[in-house]
Structure 1
């Protein structure tokens, strides 16, 4: 059994499509960019937005920084409330806690937003620590968030063994970030990644649903 469970937020705990995509559309509109098919923006869900604006729409570094600010204009007042809970996840949290697991959030989303979303969905009480990125970019990669989270656990309970930790996420960024610390990952297939994406980055476990995720954690 894995004692410490690190969970990504968007596409793993929550269904974030409406809020994130609306925020991206709002930001792109400020640059005169229109998008006919909102599903083409799904790759924005997961990785840092700054990188996505540059990669997917060719914005310069300066423009990408401004796009993130535009995105936050929308997201901070509307988008954070346009979230739902992924099927079976709350029941999974209850089961894992009953079996003695400690749950943590490790997200590239700004920590402030992550806490507001989980409070809004009444899920915040399940987590020992909710760790996310910072607005000043001092902590904006998944690896940096995990490092921060590990430090928090060490300060509270002593340094954990990496063999007792599992990361759960829906994109390759979760696998890569966790691997930097020797942590294995469960790739969930109900989010925004794919089996092919996880196979390409040698993700150890795959879960079709929340029930399979729990079985892997408790085995």
Structure 2
């Protein structure tokens, strides 16, 4: 049974969402301010956090930034429709996905299932037969979910890890945005959705701390490929 934390100051919406998700068997906790939400997120054992941007005490973006310093639990941001800047900043800070309010409960259910399924598949790879990938001075170990660049640890969110793993498994080959969206984000690619671009940008920024050469190449309008380079 997956445990989900909802951090949102709209108590009525929280109850409605909790009731809806509880029908799928999830265990739900709710917090209505940012300070309490950060404490709960840091000290609890959750498989997913639903995080509103507008919160009293500590806003959602500040909460996410603080959380990502030591916790990589998947985060689904809840944003006001049209707040593109907040979504972009949230993805830059390490959110796994976002959903604009007001949202259809079925869409929320689908996003939650997609994220939890991705986490489950990642955990299934955590076994002695999982293939360690080492390409272009990047090492990805599914057994312990560890990534290194030039022997330096790189901390990735679960979404970033899955994207990198898929690209490295197809190193030297184009992987389309549609393939990445369907297999990693769990949904069809939508027009104007920049989620993939932001996740890839985050991975590049983290690699750039340890290596100046390009690891992931963008083929505009098509997708991405992980460069084989020279080990």
Q: TM-score range by the shorter chain?
A: 0.3 to 0.5
User: Which structure's residues are more often strand, by fraction?
Assistant: 2
User: Which structure's residues are more often helix, by fraction?
Assistant: 1
Normalising by structure 2, report the TM-score.
0.36
**Whose Rg is larger?**
2
Normalising by structure 1, report the TM-score.
0.38
